[in-house]
Amino acid sequence: MHQDEQKALVAKEAVALMLREISAGEILGIGTGSTVNLFIDALSPYAKHFRGVVSSSEASTARLIEKGFHVFDANEVGNIIAYVDGADEINAQGHMIKGGGGALTREKIVASMAEKFVCICDSSKQVEVLGNFPLPIEVIPLASAHIARTIEQQLGAEVSIRMSKSRPDEKMITDNGGWILDVRGLKIHHPKELEIELNQIPGVICNGIFARNAANVLIVSSQEGVRTIQY
């Protein structure tokens, strides 16, 4: 089965879970990425089942509005019943690396507001130890060189600034006006500790380790089909 078909399967399974477990009139949190796009599309016939959604990126917001969802600003809502998002890597504890699409900061904010994190991905994202996927860190642009040097010295890792896909000679600018550093060469054996440590470097807005906001549920697909794992 092709990876896109596997992503479509988890998206469909996540829709079934939402309709089964979430009462009408609740607010959902929505992540960012290709798997989430399929989830948004599959959920759209039921857009009015929910009071609305809180989105984690401008890209998801545009798609959600186009598909008929009411999108709330995060400041307008008190409670988000569940947050659905993809991951770049996930380990057996539900700790993740996220931010491949550069939306990590808003993703972490919305995830932290939600009662439950439902991760949807294909089995290529499941790992024993996080770190093979370059760890994204969103930074204040003027601090980027200092942060890169600090991480290289402290962690012995290789750091690069992410460039724009559409304009490869320009830095990628996030929805928050930040830049993204991608950190290669890590083996993250203690995700909670490293998540906290990275946040201490002045100028770091957010890092892509989601250990303190780990997944509570994983819907994962492989050649054998779809599985749901509760953490």
Binding residues (CB under 6 A) for ligand 5RP: these are 31-35, 85-88, 98-104, 107
Rounded least distance, CB 188 to ligand 5RP, Å? 16
Output 52 or 136, the one with its CB closest to ligand 5RP: 136
Output 108 or 148, the one with its CB closest to ligand 5RP: 108
Contacts of 141 (CB under 8 A, 6+ apart): 171, 177, 178, 179
Burial class (CB in 10 A: 0-12, 13-18, 19+), 75: exposed
Active site residue 107: yes
What are the beta bridge partners of residue 120? 219
Q: Check 26, 107, 138, 195 and give the catalytic one.
A: 107
Rounded least distance, CB 87 to ligand 5RP, Å? 6
Say how far apart CA 123 and CA 4 lie, in whole Å: 12
Rounded least distance, CB 134 to ligand 5RP, Å? 11
The structure tokens listed for 115 are: 């009662």
Rounded least distance, CB 77 to ligand 5RP, Å? 21
Which among 116, 124, 109, 98 has a CA at the least distance from the CA of 215? 116
Say how far apart CA 150 and CA 227 lie, in whole Å: 40
At 77 the three-state DSSP class reads: coil
Output 106 or 150, the one with its CB closest to ligand 5RP: 106
At 216 the three-state DSSP class reads: coil
Active site residues: 107
